[in-house]
Structure formats: structure tokens, C-alpha cells
Amino acid sequence: MTHRLITSGGSFTVNLWDAQDTKVFVKFSKPAVDDGTTLNGRPVRAFVTGAPVFDEAVAWMDCKVRHHLDLGTHTLFVGEVVGAAINVDDARSASMSDTRMKYGGVKRH
């Protein structure tokens, strides 16, 4: 689903989360529910590209797709940062190891 949204919209955001708020990762291991103002119950808003930026993000980057590279099971999207902000000065952004989750990848059909 994310691949389709990035391809059709031509943009994406990178949202960094506080290391103390890792439950959000579990919510997004399932398909997202968009009600127009939230994704999976987390408030979002649009900036330059219209792609969702989470209000609760420690920092974010709004990106326009400039190139994509098909790598077989995945696509690498290269984006130009057209908007960005840091919302919290003293938080440490989360990494995958903070979630205790593992990513094994999913083959596209």
C-alpha cells in the first residue's frame, strides 16, 4: 500500500518518533486507517507535498520523489526534502531496536 501511495502521489514524509513512544510502530505494522485528520488514530497534517506529517513526530522531512530504483522485492525512492522541522529539542528519536520488532521484508507481486 505504501508503495502505491508514494508512486501515485509522487511524495512521502519521513517522521521520526520519540524513543519513549514506540507503540506507534506496532500500529503501523498493519494497514493504515485514514479518517482525514488521523492515520491509525494519530493526528496528521499536510505541508508542502500533501503527504502526511504526524503532529507527534520528534522531527519530520517532507519529500518529493525525484528518482526511484526497482530492487526486485523493494523500490528505493530518492526524495528531495522540500520541508522539514524539529519539534522537540530534548527527545531521542526511536530506532528499530527500541521497538523489539524485526523486519523481514515482504515480496511484491
Average pLDDT over residues 1-22: 87
d(CA 82, CA 84): 7
pLDDT at position 22: 72
| Structural domain includes residue 108 | no
Which CATH number do you get for residue 19? Answer: 2.30.110.10
Please state the domain count of the chain. 1
User: Does residue 46 or residue 109 have the better pLDDT?
Assistant: 46
| Structural domain includes residue 83 | yes
pLDDT at position 90: 61
- Which backbone phi and psi does 4 adopt, to 5 degrees? -65, -40
| Structural domain includes residue 23 | yes
Question: Quick one: cell of 80?
Answer: 528531495
* pTM to 2 decimal places: 0.77
In the block, residue with C-alpha cell 522540500:
82
| Structural domain includes residue 101 | no
Q: For residue 7, name the pLDDT band (cuts at 50, 70, 90).
A: very high
| Structural domain includes residue 60 | yes
What is the overall mean pLDDT for the chain?
A: 82
H or E element in which residue 4 lies: helix 2-9
**Contact (CB, 8 A) for 41 and 35:** no
pLDDT in tens, 68-99: 999 998 999 999 999 999 886 666 654 555 55
| Structural domain includes residue 32 | yes
pLDDT at position 92: 60
| Structural domain includes residue 11 | yes
Range of the domain at 30: 2-88
pLDDT in tens, 30-68: 788 889 899 888 899 999 999 999 998 888 999 999 999
| Structural domain includes residue 106 | no
